[in-house]
């Protein structure tokens, strides 16, 4: 390679590196503005942060070996936890570092919880159906989950957000949920009931449901 060609290559590499750095800087500045506005109570800015950083958190928790469903729960739990300490975060880098650390911790917790689940001893169930029936039950369960996701897509977005947040924890803190969704604490229970009624209506009118239920 001639010296002139080498110089062109080096210049191009420097330009690419400068472009990457500029992109990172612009992203950090954008997240910084969103962070300040979210801390001031602008819910839409918090949603933009969630949309911006969820793919990164998804990669973190999936990298810990979680299934798709466990990964969804773990990421949702991380965002819910962020609400309680959002005011203490001072910079975009601190926000991303906190989220990544929380995602790894939550992924480990979910994975360890699954590992602690004791295996089923077939000798305890002498009348259990043959393995073929068990496989069929698993297929039916997967179909029910798929249909449930389809039903959720037909609900208003506020209902979807509320039901997902409440499902992310066995015992959700309604104060945290209220702050996360910007709604009165006392409205969570009644709203949840109305959303579940809507979900139930969608499900029972789906012709697939009768064929999947025992």
Q: Per residue in 37-63, pLDDT tens? A: 888 888 788 888 888 888 888 888 888
Does 189 lie in the same domain as 104? no
What's 76's domain CATH number? 1.10.1740.10
Q: Give 163-209 pLDDT, tens digit per residue.
A: 877 776 666 777 778 877 888 888 888 888 888 888 888 877 777 66
User: Which tokens is 50 given?
Assistant: 């969630």
> Global pTM?
0.50
Q: Is residue 3 part of a domain?
A: no
132 pLDDT band, cuts 50/70/90, is: very low
Residues 6+ apart with CB under 8 A from 131: none
101: enclosing H helix or E strand: helix 92-116
Measured between alpha carbons, how far is 130 from 172 in angstroms, rounded to an integer? 38
DSSP count for the chain of H helices, then E strands: 9, 0
Three-state SS letters, 152-165: HCCCCHHHHHHHHH
Residues 6+ apart with CB under 8 A from 27: 92
What's 161's domain CATH number? 1.10.10
Note down the domain range covering 144: 132-214
Q: Is residue 211 part of a domain?
A: yes
Does 156 lie in the same domain as 182? yes
Total tally of structural domains belonging to the chain: 2
89 pLDDT band, cuts 50/70/90, is: confident
Q: Is residue 5 part of a domain?
A: no
Residue 130 has pLDDT above 50, yes or no: no
Q: Give 148-164 pLDDT, tens digit per residue.
A: 778 888 888 888 888 87
Q: Is residue 125 part of a domain?
A: no
Does 166 lie in the same domain as 94? no
Q: Is residue 121 part of a domain?
A: no
């Amino acid at each position: 390679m001639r010296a002139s060609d080498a110089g062109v290559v080096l210049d191009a590499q420097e330009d690419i590196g400068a472009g990457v750095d500029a992109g990172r800087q612009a992203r950090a500045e954008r997240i910084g503005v969103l962070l300040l506005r979210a801390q001031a109570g602008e819910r839409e800015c918090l949603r933009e942060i969630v949309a911006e950083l969820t793919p990164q958190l998804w990669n973190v928790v999936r990298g810990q070996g979680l299934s798709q469903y466990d990964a969804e729960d773990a990421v949702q739990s991380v965002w819910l936890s962020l609400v309680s300490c959002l005011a203490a975060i001072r910079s975009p880098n601190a926000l991303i570092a906190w989220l990544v650390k929380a995602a790894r911790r939550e992924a480990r917790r979910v994975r360890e919880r699954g590992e602690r689940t004791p295996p089923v001893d077939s000798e305890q169930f002498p009348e259990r159906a043959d393995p073929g029936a068990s496989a069929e039950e698993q297929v039916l369960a997967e179909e029910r989950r798929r249909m449930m996701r389809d039903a959720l897509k037909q609900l208003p977005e506020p209902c979807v957000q509320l039901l997902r947040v409440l499902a992310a924890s066995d015992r959700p803190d309604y104060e945290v949920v209220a702050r996360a969704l910007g709604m009165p604490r006392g409205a969570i229970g009644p709203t949840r009931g109305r959303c579940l009624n809507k979900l139930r209506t969608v499900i029972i009118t789906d012709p697939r449901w009768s064929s999947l239920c025992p």
